[in-house]
């Protein structure tokens, strides 16, 4: 499969990328390409020009920022898996990165690319939502920080403006966190994924593939806060969700899976 023709601009810096995004209407950012290139090949995506940010090495880092960890948007999944700062401060994110795709995908794919692509079945966005991560974007008017809870606006849609570049992901340090997913086969997308983490004393849970975006399991969280045990709280996982029905499973099956995996996640937390 061959993508439709497009122009190509290799960005030398974030500012250069922002500038290039403004020159053509259907410009699209290319990071690791492991969501975008398959979409180009299927011609689901037909940008006029790709602005390749993949060489901006200063956006590849994991940094200890006191009570938070800052991650450069172009940090590859394989780097997250092996990073000692992340292992010490937010191991759930490193362990989740180890579940993304397969080794070849993890060698190329980036956390920022995964987040900006905003697939509702994606693992890392779900964990970031459970963690209440902050997403830092830079555009023509400067930098702003977007809370994960308002970042994912629809399937493959985010709060990023057309000329904004996601530059950094900030996560709180957490000691307890877990992400579990159900897949039909190795390397499949999650039929359902459940992220749970204890952030500032409260247990926060987010779900993958249970609606148009990653979703917080608010009913479950409220039940836990009101003293419910894991099994009882997990029974409320699917409240307020809109699970899809597709080849991986029907909506009812997904709602069932969410309860089972939420209970397991809470028990492992």
Site residues (CB under 8 A) for other proteins? 1-8, 10, 30, 33-34, 37-38, 40-41, 50, 52, 54, 78, 101-105, 107-108, 186-187
Distance CA 31, CA 188 (A): 21
Output the smallest distance, CB 234 to other proteins, in A.
27
Judged by beta carbon, residue 76 or residue 138, the one nearer other proteins is: 76
Judged by beta carbon, residue 172 or residue 183, the one nearer other proteins is: 183
47 token code pair: 């940008």
Output the smallest distance, CB 220 to other proteins, in A.
30
Output the smallest distance, CB 105 to other proteins, in A.
7
Give the number of other CB atoms < 10 A from CB of residue 135. Answer: 26
Judged by beta carbon, residue 145 or residue 187, the one nearer other proteins is: 187
Contacts (Cβ under 8 Å, ≥6 apart) of 218: 239, 240
Output the smallest distance, CB 243 to other proteins, in A.
24
Where does 204-269 have alpha helices with state H? 218-225, 230-234, 251-268
Strand-pair partners of 195: 179, 206
Judged by beta carbon, residue 47 or residue 243, the one nearer other proteins is: 47
Output the smallest distance, CB 60 to other proteins, in A.
13
> Which run of H or E residues covers position 124?
helix 123-130
Contacts (Cβ under 8 Å, ≥6 apart) of 137: 143, 144, 145, 146, 160, 161, 164, 165, 166, 167
Output the smallest distance, CB 236 to other proteins, in A.
33
* The pairing of beta strand 152-154 with beta strand 62-65: unpaired
Judged by beta carbon, residue 82 or residue 147, the one nearer other proteins is: 82
Cα three-residue angle 111-114-117, rounded to 5 degrees: 145
Judged by beta carbon, residue 3 or residue 172, the one nearer other proteins is: 3
């Amino acid at each position: 499969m061959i993508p439709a023709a497009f122009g190509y601009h290799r960005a030398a810096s974030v500012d250069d990328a922002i500038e290039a995004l403004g020159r053509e209407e259907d410009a699209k950012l290319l990071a690791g390409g492991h969501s975008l290139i398959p979409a180009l090949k299927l011609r689901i995506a037909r940008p006029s020009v790709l602005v390749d940010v993949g060489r901006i090495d200063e956006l590849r880092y994991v940094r200890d920022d006191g009570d938070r960890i800052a991650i450069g948007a172009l940090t590859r999944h394989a780097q997250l898996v092996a990073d000692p700062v992340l292992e010490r401060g937010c191991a759930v994110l490193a362990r989740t990165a180890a579940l993304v795709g397969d080794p070849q995908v993890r060698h190329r794919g980036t956390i920022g690319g995964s987040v900006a692509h905003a697939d509702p079945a994606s693992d890392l966005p779900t964990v970031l939502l459970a963690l209440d991560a902050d997403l830092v974007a830079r555009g023509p008017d400067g930098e702003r920080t977007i809370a994960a809870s308002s970042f994912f606006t629809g399937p493959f849609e985010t709060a990023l403006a057309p000329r904004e570049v996601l530059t950094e992901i900030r996560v709180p340090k957490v000691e307890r966190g877990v992400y579990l997913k159900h897949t039909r086969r190795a390397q499949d997308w999650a039929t359902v994924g459940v992220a749970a983490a204890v952030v500032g004393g409260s247990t926060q849970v987010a779900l993958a593939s249970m609606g148009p975006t990653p979703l917080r399991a608010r009913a479950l969280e409220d039940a836990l806060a009101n003293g419910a045990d894991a099994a009882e709280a997990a029974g409320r996982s699917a409240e307020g969700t809109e699970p899809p029905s597709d080849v991986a499973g029907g909506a009812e099956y997904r709602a069932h899976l969410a309860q089972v995996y939420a209970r397991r996640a809470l028990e492992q937390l």
